[in-house]
Amino acid sequence: MADHYEVLGVSRDATLDEIKKAYRRLARELHPDVNPGEEASERFKLVTHAYDVLSDTEQRARYDMGGSDSPFGGGGGNFSGFGDIFETFFGAAGGGGRAGRPRSRRERGQDALVRVTLELKDVVFGAHRDLEVDTAVLCETCTGSCCQPGTSPVTCEICHGSGHVQRQVRSLLGNVVTSQPCNVCQGYGTTIPYPCATCQGQGRVRARRTVAIDIPAGVETGLRLQLPGSGEVGPAGGPNGDLYIEVSVQPHEVFSRDGDDLLATLEVSMPDAILGTTTTIESLDGPVDLEVRAGVQAGDVLTIKGRGITPLRGTQRGDLRVGVHVVTPTRLDHKERQLIEEFARRTKAPAPRLSEFHQGLFAKLRDRFRG
């Protein structure tokens, strides 16, 4: 019968930690996935069983007193050592893996969302806004340390700074070592005996701050602009999240948008439509002269180049397109009626007739694109 201490290569007064280290070293060397030879497989079984006996206080005591023991046990083998094999190679079962590094108190802050309402003129030329944002900011008292000034975090006495505690659980496979976050320090590995009174140990406080933003031309309702690093500061002074600006554009009483173009309707009297005229209209750029050609028809579109919207990712502005609406007089005095009748006799206008239906730009202009 092989001596368990000799199998593991440790002295009879070896500590549990020394036994674990010896076992893990041999297990890595002899595991079938690493060393598939038959001899290594037999040694692996001996090492596993030796560790199973010597790592259990009661079994080790009986073994040291000369109790009956065999490398493969009396009941078809005790494979409790496989619990640590799983821990060594694949992480402890049920415990989220081997205890890794402790959690960091510093975490990235959340993103923030602010909605801003713009006028159509802001869409054409862009705009600057100073926005009031209510978010988490760095605590000025502790500057993110979470501690009262002059103090600092201390190592957790339960997990000794690892942030995790290990527990040995009996299962059908034997004793399985599991690792779980420490309940005392919440996995951080340290505790804060004297938390900052200003932020209650969070490293940040709620505050209102001003964020300056230049809104580019060409935005539209529903668009979100991203400002990296302008959101909430993270716990314990962690990096800031992002700030998103959601745009909403108010309808304009005269102009509406069609892509990069602006649309409007121009009401023209019947004489001006017949004879033609020049008029001045108030665009978003200011006064603009517009020529109405003689014989213009209702629904015709007059275009003013470069007076539309600058694309969000471009420089060439769209156009201002003006749909003509000919206003027919509804009340005529006797003299005016005689003149119109004389005009009708002279022109010999054809009788009203049906023609092809046109659903063009003017129909859209009539609805004024309130969206």
Express each pLDDT in 245-255 by its tens digit: 999 999 999 99
The rounded Cα 5 to chain-centroid distance in angstroms is: 56
Alpha carbons within 13 A on the beta-carbon side of 25:
10
Mean pLDDT within 290-299: 92
Q: How far apart are the first and last CA of the chain?
A: 89
- Quick check: is 250 in a domain? no
Q: Which of 65, 30, 66, 34 is nearest to 49 (CA)?
A: 30
The residue that leads in pLDDT, 354 or 319, is 319
Task: Please count the structural domains in the chain.
Answer: 2
Last residue of a domain, one of 90, 113, 133: 90
Q: List Cβ neighbours of 334 (8 Å cut-off, separation of 6 or more).
A: none
In the chain, where do the E strands start and end? 112-118, 127-138, 154-155, 164-171, 174-181, 190-191, 204-215, 224-227, 243-249, 256-258, 261-269, 277-283, 286-292, 301-304, 320-327
88 CB neighbour count, 10 Å cutoff: 18
The pLDDT value given to residue 29? 82
Q: List Cβ neighbours of 351 (8 Å cut-off, separation of 6 or more).
A: none
Predicted confidence band of residue 272 (pLDDT cuts 50, 70, 90): very high
The pLDDT value given to residue 174? 63
Question: Residue 99 pLDDT more than 60?
Answer: no
The pLDDT value given to residue 354? 78
Most confident of 65-69, 84-88, 213-217: 213-217
Cα–Cα dist 125/218, whole Å: 8
Question: Residue 173 pLDDT more than 60?
Answer: no
- Quick check: is 210 in a domain? no
Question: Residue 53 pLDDT more than 90?
Answer: no
Least confident of 38-52, 298-312, 315-329: 38-52
Tokens 């156009």 identify what position?
319
Q: Residue 73 has which token pair? A: 């046990």
Cα–Cα dist 114/245, whole Å: 5
Q: Residue 151 has which token pair? A: 């103090």
Q: What angle do CA 185, 190, 191 make, to 5 degrees?
A: 65
Cα–Cα dist 163/179, whole Å: 10
- Quick check: is 263 in a domain? yes
CATH code at position 55: 1.10.287.110
Last residue of a domain, one of 62, 90, 118: 90
Helices (H), 238-330: 270-275
- Quick check: is 104 in a domain? no
Q: Residue 330 has which token pair? A: 């509804």
The rounded Cα 321 to chain-centroid distance in angstroms is: 40
CATH code at position 310: 2.60.260.20
Question: Residue 89 pLDDT more than 60?
Answer: no
Residue 234 DSSP symbol: B
Bridge partners (DSSP) of residue 212 are: 130
C-alpha Rg value of the chain to the nearest Å: 42
Question: Residue 76 pLDDT more than 60?
Answer: no
Alpha carbons within 13 A on the beta-carbon side of 308:
26
Q: Which of 132, 118, 364 is nearest to 218 (CA)?
A: 118
Most confident of 33-47, 56-70, 228-242: 228-242
Q: Tell me the three state secondary structure of residue 266.
A: strand
- Quick check: is 75 in a domain? yes
- Quick check: is 71 in a domain? yes
- Quick check: is 290 in a domain? yes
364 neighbors 321 (Cβ within 8 angstroms) = no
Burial class (CB in 10 A: 0-12, 13-18, 19+), 21: middle
- Quick check: is 37 in a domain? yes
The pLDDT value given to residue 305? 94
**Reported pTM:** 0.61
Cα–Cα dist 166/158, whole Å: 11
Last residue of a domain, one of 35, 70, 90: 90
Question: Residue 310 pLDDT more than 70?
Answer: yes
Question: Residue 180 pLDDT more than 70?
Answer: yes
Question: Residue 14 pLDDT more than 60?
Answer: yes
The pLDDT value given to residue 86? 44
The pLDDT value given to residue 288? 93
Q: What angle do CA 36, 38, 44 make, to 5 degrees?
A: 75
**Percent of the chain clearing pLDDT 90 (strictly above):** 52
Cα–Cα dist 187/165, whole Å: 9
Question: Residue 154 pLDDT more than 70?
Answer: yes
Tens-place pLDDT, residues 113-129 = 999 999 999 999 999 99
Structural domain for 299, as ranges: 256-367
Question: Residue 280 pLDDT more than 50?
Answer: yes
